[in-house]
Structure 1
Amino acid sequence: MEVIILQINLTQKERMLLEDGKKQEDLCVKKYQAYANQVQDPQLKNLLTEIAGEEQHHYDMINQMLQGMEPNMTHSGGNSTVQNNTFQGVSGNSEDKTLLEDLLSTEKYVSGFYDTTVFESAEPKVRQAIQHIQKDEQGHGEKLFNYMNSHGMYNVK
């Protein structure tokens, strides 16, 4: 079976934005991994570990594009038991809340960064990959929000 690798020719601006995105994804991976080791709730630890894996996949996708390859958008990581975004439990502790507020703020920033990157991408494959990553980032924010809201850490009035 012959494997065909499609080449992507990046503009200077796309390359610059992807390099910035790669740094952001690396930071996200490190934050999620570190925070997963600090939180008290095992369910939250699983959620953060799952998202860390997805952030690593984003990092890998960006790396592939920077190498001129079409990115593999299929993430082979496992799904946590938190698939339906419903969380059970009592109020969370303040340390977990602080970590989650930081992660949610990070997701808001990263999603906004990718919004700009989509508009600055001339190459359709890059634009498509960035839209895919942005949708994932918004999903991460939703999962964090749902956990926080269900544990009395983020009340919508």
Structure 2
Amino acid sequence: MQISQKERMLLEEQRNQEEICVKKYQNYANQAQDPQLKQLFNKIATEEQHHYDIINQILNGQQPNLSHAQINQQVMFQQAQVQQMNSENVMSNQKDKVLCNDLLSTEKYVSGTYDTVIFECVNPTIRQALQHIQQDEQQHGKELFDYMNSHGMYNVK
């Protein structure tokens, strides 16, 4: 797969953003008080790692693998673990709200950067892969918003 110098530069920057997202979600999963939120952060961390891998594949000249099959198996395992923890029914707290707000802001930023990169890519395969990732990023934002809204952390008036 041919990658222009500009595409390479933009992809390397997006790969850096994905690496930051993976670390942030993993770190925040360890800090979150609510087991449901821990589960959500771990799920998204796994998906962000998949995005990182897709970009690496492109940078290495490989056809990107957009499949979520392995991720879905990991998420199902994590959900089973969290359901056991849910019996404690830990309530959300102010710290969880701060974590959620930061990650929602991160998702908004990252989704916006993908918008620019998509418009700058000539290669249709790369463009399609990045559109796939951006759609996932927007889904992450929705999941965070839904969690926050359902736990009184983000009220829509």
State the TM-score, normalized to the length of structure 2.
0.88
Shift of 1:138: 0.2
Kindly report the root-mean-square deviation, in angstroms, between the aligned alpha carbons of the 2 structures: 1.6
Do structure 1's residue 24 and structure 2's residue 17 form an aligned pair?
A: yes
How far, CA to CA, are the matches of 2:35 and 2:50 in structure 1?
23
Fraction of identical pairs, as percent: 64
Query: 1:49–1:90: structure 2 CA closer, same or farther, 3 Å change rule?
Result: closer
Contact 1:91–1:153 under 8 Å retained in 2: no
Shift of 1:91: 6.4
Contact 1:107–1:141 under 8 Å retained in 2: yes
Contact 1:90–1:151 under 8 Å retained in 2: no
Q: Which residue number in structure 2 is paired with residue 50 of structure 1? A: 43
Contact 2:54–2:66 under 8 Å retained in 1: yes
How far, CA to CA, are the matches of 2:90 and 2:49 in structure 1?
31
Do structure 1's residue 77 and structure 2's residue 71 form an aligned pair?
A: yes
Q: Which residue number in structure 2 is paired with residue 144 of structure 1? A: 144
Contact 1:118–1:130 under 8 Å retained in 2: yes
Shift of 1:62: 0.2
**SS of 1:92 mapped into structure 2:** coil
Contact 1:29–1:56 under 8 Å retained in 2: yes
Shift of 1:70: 1.1
Query: 1:149–1:90: structure 2 CA closer, same or farther, 3 Å change rule?
Result: farther
Gaps of 5+ in 1: 1-7, 82-88
How far, CA to CA, are the matches of 2:153 and 2:5 in structure 1?
42
Aligned residues: 144
